[in-house]
Amino acid sequence: MAGNGRPTVTIRDVARAANVHVSTVSRALDPDKQRLIAEATRNRILEVVQELGYRPHRGASGLRRGQTRTIGVVVPDLGNPLYAPFLRGVARALDAAEFMPLVTDTEDDHDRLVRILRHLEERRVEAVITTAAREGDLALLQELRAAGTEVVLAVRTLSESGLPTVPHDDVLGGRLAVEHLLELGHRRIAQIRGPLDVEPFRARSEGAEQALAAAGLAEVGFAPPATSPTVAEGERHTLELLAACGDAPPTALFVQNDLLALGALSALRCRGLRCPEDVSVVSYNDAFFSAYTQPALTTVRLPAYEIGFAAGRLAVRHVEGQDADPVASVAPQLVVRASAAPPRDDA
């Protein structure tokens, strides 16, 4: 039954009403084969299709051609607001090429990624776009591509993988964050790091360290890298850092994503420290909520929608065998809000 309660119109109904064979209808509706059908016959079939409201079954026709017109999109955490605009960008790019995204998340777990990729391969998706890659996933993703399913990396990249990638300059982003704090006059700067096996977090650390070195400074204290980029981990590691620094806390924190920064702000409140009066915070990603925290987060914008759109287009071009030039690195941008200010005179 159709969704409106009426019987579903089939290709046999169209053939019967147009007084032609089912295979003739199929050819008339196939852009690659409609030239084989006389124009008058094709026009009669199209009129019947319009009158009956017939809608071709794209999945069935795709399977006959060995195509599903679906692309798997795998993110680490659907609860992370960063991925909503990313997925919207992917969907827009795929819509334009009449592909359908099949979206899921790994919960940042390698074993779950293994199961997801196996299921997507069994469902014959024509490519996988993923933002969930960690260092230990490289061989798995290369094997998937070698077996015939294209893989596109975005947000979380693996620079030595050889896989099609939409790169983002996280080194520059980390440098922008710390340079902003230096320009404000901070000299006691610490970092709250994301997981070391996620390449963008390592790159953000590298950029921050470059900026400190250029100013002749060393990082204050050291918090172990978070096991996952979550609010809870941001709070835990900030509390550990403050405890380790004792009576000489940093005057500024570079926190490597916005969720970690929410945890850092909570930890500062727990210790009776004000942001930015006592400790400034600069974050990364510019998720939608960063403009509405108290104080609003100064952050480095990762243009998630644009990266998603580029990843979708790149996947389509590879699937359709088109020339796919390397994608230019997407530049980060510092978004200045209220969470970073000059240090107190007595700091």
Three-state DSSP at 101 gives: strand
Closest to 225 (Cα-Cα) out of 207, 216, 242, 237: 237
Q: Is the peptide bond before 295 cis (omega within 30 degrees of 0)?
A: yes
pLDDT of residue 336: 98
| Whether the Cβ atoms of residue 106 and residue 132 lie closer than 8 Å to each other | yes
Q: Which residues are within 8 A (CB) of 35 and not within 5 positions of it... i.e. 6 or more apart? A: none
DSSP 329: P
Global pTM exceeds 0.75: yes
Closest to 69 (Cα-Cα) out of 320, 307, 280: 320
Q: Which residues are within 8 A (CB) of 269 and not within 5 positions of it... i.e. 6 or more apart? A: none
pLDDT of residue 35: 82
Q: Which residues are within 8 A (CB) of 277 and not within 5 positions of it... i.e. 6 or more apart? A: 341, 344
Which one-letter amino acid corresponds to residue 326?
Answer: P
Token pair listed for 255:
């926190």
Q: Averaged in consecutive runs of 10 residues, what is the pLDDT profile of the chain (347 residues)?
A: 59 89 82 80 89 69 62 96 97 93 96 96 94 96 93 94 93 98 98 96 97 97 93 97 94 98 98 97 97 97 96 92 75 97 86
Torsion sign, CA atoms 252, 257, 262, 266: negative
| Whether the Cβ atoms of residue 260 and residue 200 lie closer than 8 Å to each other | no
Alpha helices, DSSP H, located in 55-198: 58-64, 83-96, 110-122, 138-146, 170-183
Strands 252-255, 280-285: pairing is parallel
The domain defined by 11-56 folds into 434 Repressor (Amino-terminal Domain) (1.10.260)
Q: Where are the domains of the chain?
A: 11-56, 70-168+304-331, 170-301
Partner residues linked to 105 by β-bridges: 75
| Whether the Cβ atoms of residue 179 and residue 211 lie closer than 8 Å to each other | yes
Strands 100-105, 333-335: pairing is unpaired
CA gap 178, 305 in Å, rounded: 25
Token pair listed for 187:
């000299």
Same fold, 11-56 and 70-168+304-331: no
Closest to 302 (Cα-Cα) out of 278, 318, 283, 284: 284
pLDDT of residue 1: 42
CATH architecture of 70-168+304-331: 3-Layer(aba) Sandwich (3.40)
pLDDT of residue 64: 47
pLDDT of residue 57: 57
Q: How is the beta sheet containing 252-255 ordered, strand by strand?
A: 189-192, 252-255, 280-285, 298-301, 333-335
Neighbour tally for 231: CB within 10 Å: 16
CATH architecture of 170-301: 3-Layer(aba) Sandwich (3.40)
For residue 140, count CB atoms less than 10 angstroms from its CB and return exposed for 0-12, middle for 13-18, buried for 19 or more: middle
